A and B are shown apart, each in its own frame.
Chain A
């Protein structure tokens, strides 16, 4: 077993791990990062190749159970309404994210105070705003400042991407109803920016950017972090966080791709392994779980969609994808609707012709073939777009991950088992929102609409499973991700979110990680073993 030592050991090289590693290195600390995946070069992605629609079915699928790479761990989701999605690699799931970049709303931090549900966050939107701005600069966010859904207009460092025919069509429908919309903000540069290429609107963001444009941590953070001396070990699956006789974290044991075990010692350990991987590792290490909250309160953002078809050519395979528009019209609570909290909408292109191949009506297996296939493609391809709906998922301690007693990964470690059910509040919320989205499509002139009430492969947003708070009896970490039970162990990813909001969380994950790591740097003198 090899044995290395550094000031800090970080588990995971995705968005939060990248922020942490870079800031710690800038502060002069020695950092080792353990990442179970590897590097993925832009030219490995298939967006510019004819087989793009083929390889997204397995090779670039976001569900690790479908993808089945050696670096993936399997997930037992048989008892879940939603499949969790992720990607193991330098840059994490951002490699295949849609780069939808939205801040949480001010109300998201105060849901207990405002709506009497869940918990307030231990800090406010105003507290986090400077960190949003900080990470938005790094992530090349393109968008239009002045969005009236935010108190500060959610400023963006780069000008917005084009709306295209789809965006204009959708906007006209929203205007006809007097509803809020705004050009989408995306972590996709509309200009060449700090080593990133300008977006070419290929519309393949969700299967990886083949053009080196989309802002992902492997391109935005890791080059500088490596120059500053961060030791990044790929193919390193962490089996356990180790503690010393005093109960302090002292490093991690990891397994290489040949099955050999290694030890990485550190004065501080930070977990950035996502809302499934982080609680899995805490449970495997039997750490931080005095309250029994580790793994509980899992939130995954059930996602619904409404597709509208129009009788005119919209070139609806053109990107960004990416979000073309957003709407927060029904984001805030109105209890007359029969539920609390709300959802964000994103207007998305419809993709290539195979999006319209299958029959989705629950009929025969062959209903989408024969003349029906040709008719469907002729009628819908290039003429359709989607309003996607991200509903706020409130925390429930019964929605959780546990360690499977029957399924293991390639190294024999227990796989996570997901127990997750959509709440009645969420069912009512999505029903309301899909009905409104149908109205928006019809107001825009849609000749037909199709509602997908829940997309099972939608669990991109993994949050809540090591909740932060001020009270050690009701939370796992403090507001800076410092584990109450183990003072030199931190969690910086979405696991610490008390609530989910109805927003794509990467902006907030990175902003919260930036706030937390700066606190760690400022308070590092308190972390000495004698403290």
Chain B
């Protein structure tokens, strides 16, 4: 299911209000979130598209979070689909990940195990002795 130009304009406006950008994080408009990033999410999870489309059909011009809230209250399930689409489009974006210092769920070496600092932390636990009940 592809979004119409009108749907995409509405989605773009919703995204700007819901993700305005702040404290070092880009806003939706800078990222053109309503285009390729949203399409990426819908490719991975196409089941979101019908509810998103219904929400956008109902949506008029939104100027504030208060306007979005009113739409959300009309159908919380459809709003949830919008939330999932926008949040994932945003946090899957490489720019945003870089801005918040998130490399994704990256691989690291687990064989380092516990070091001397960790074992030192355990000393008082060992010193208190057994706590199990017969």
When each residue 376-398 of chain A gets 1 if its CB lies under 8 Å from chain B and 0 otherwise, what string results?
A: 01100110000000000000000
Q: Closest CB-CB distance, B62 to chain A, in whole Å?
A: 10
Stretch of B5-13, B49-57, B97-105 contacting A (4+ beta carbons < 8 Å): B97-105
A354 in the interface (beta carbon within 8 A)? yes
Point out the residue from B92, B110, B122, B129 that lies within 8 Å of A320, measured CB to CB: B110
B63 in the interface (beta carbon within 8 A)? no
Known: A183-B118, A377-B100. A365 touches B73 (CB 8 A): yes
A329 in the interface (beta carbon within 8 A)? yes
Q: Closest CB-CB distance, A505 to chain B, in whole Å?
A: 18
Interface centre among A160, A319, A353 (most CB of B within 10 A): A353
Q: Closest CB-CB distance, B89 to chain A, in whole Å?
A: 9
Q: Closest CB-CB distance, A56 to chain B, in whole Å?
A: 11
Known: A168-B121, A370-B20. A54 touches B92 (CB 8 A): yes
Known: A50-B92, A106-B132, A211-B107. A171 touches B87 (CB 8 A): no
In this complex, what residue of A is CB-closest to B80? A365
In Å, the complex CA distance between A32 and B67 comes to: 60
In Å, the complex CA distance between A381 and B100 comes to: 8
Q: Closest CB-CB distance, A120 to chain B, in whole Å?
A: 14
Contact A175 B121 (CB under 8 A): yes
Point out the residue from A114, A167, A353 that lies within 8 Å of B91, measured CB to CB: A353
Q: Closest CB-CB distance, A198 to chain B, in whole Å?
A: 6
In Å, the complex CA distance between A52 and B126 comes to: 39
A1 in the interface (beta carbon within 8 A)? no
Chain A residues in 8 Å Cβ range of B125: 148, 175, 180-182
Query: Which residues between 1 and 57 of chain B lie within 8 Å of chain A, taking CB atoms?
Result: 17-25, 41, 44-45, 47
Chain B residues in 8 Å Cβ range of A151: 130, 132
Contact B112 A162 (CB under 8 A): yes
Chain A residues in 8 Å Cβ range of B111: 190-191, 198
Give the interface residue-count category, chain B: 35 or more
In Å, the complex CA distance between A172 and B130 comes to: 20
Contact A148 B128 (CB under 8 A): yes
Point out the residue from A203, A331, A370 that lies within 8 Å of B105, measured CB to CB: A203
Chain B residues in 8 Å Cβ range of A183: 114, 118, 122
Q: Closest CB-CB distance, B12 to chain A, in whole Å?
A: 15
In Å, the complex CA distance between A190 and B109 comes to: 9
A374 in the interface (beta carbon within 8 A)? yes
In Å, the complex CA distance between A182 and B126 comes to: 10
A53 in the interface (beta carbon within 8 A)? yes
Query: Which residues between 25 and 71 of chain A lie within 8 Å of chain B, taking CB atoms?
Result: 47-48, 50-55, 57-59
Point out the residue from B25, B84, B104 that lies within 8 Å of A54, measured CB to CB: B84
B116 in the interface (beta carbon within 8 A)? no
Interface centre among A329, A332, A358, A366 (most CB of B within 10 A): A366
Known: A159-B113, A180-B125. A381 touches B102 (CB 8 A): yes
Contact A375 B118 (CB under 8 A): no
Query: Can you show 6 pairs from A to B with CB atoms below 8 A apart?
Result: A148-B128, A183-B118, A201-B107, A366-B68, A369-B65, A374-B25
* A interface, CB within 8 angstroms of B: 47-48, 50-55, 57-59, 105-107, 114, 144, 146, 148-151, 159-163, 167-168, 171-172, 175, 178, 180-183, 190-191, 198-204, 211, 313, 317-320, 328-329, 331-332, 352-354, 357-358, 364-366, 369-371, 373-375, 377-378, 381-382
**Given A48-B104, A364-B69, list of 17 further CB < 8 A pairs?**
A50-B92, A54-B45, A58-B47, A59-B45, A161-B113, A162-B110, A178-B128, A180-B125, A180-B131, A200-B110, A201-B110, A353-B100, A354-B88, A366-B68, A366-B69, A370-B20, A382-B100
Nearest 3 interchain pairs by C-beta: A200-B107, A374-B22, A365-B72
